[in-house]
Amino acid sequence: MVRLKKKGDYSNADYDRAQRAFVLKNKKDSAATKLDFEILADDQSPVINPVFVIENWGQVGAYLRIGDRKLSRGKDFRFGHRHTLKGSDLIVWLGTEFTKPIKI
């Protein structure tokens, strides 16, 4: 499960089985702003190689911070954009397993 810490500009994350991703939506028509959320994982419900689709993100890139550690785009952190009729979505993949709650 994913829980947003800042709900103002984004909708809550729902898991879409068809996309195999947690889907969030930028509710503004402008470029994305900072997005903070928490992955609620534990030993009985681990989150493995999660994918996040942030709809209406825009053309801007992204950086990722897990706890106090900033990840560089590479082997375990990948992202790209999906262009739609309504704008551009950001798709993020993390090559890791979470077995405890973590802030992103």
Tokens of 33: 């702003």
Beta-carbon-side half-sphere exposure of residue 19 (alpha carbons within 13 Å)? 17
Q: Distance (Å, rounded) from C-alpha 76 to C-alpha 16?
A: 22
The sign one gets for the Cα dihedral 23, 34, 89, 27 is positive
Which tokens is 70 given?
């900033």
pLDDT tens for residues 42-87?
899 899 999 999 998 988 888 888 888 888 888 889 999 999 998 8
Q: Which of 1-15, 22-36, 47-61 has the lowest mean pLDDT?
A: 1-15
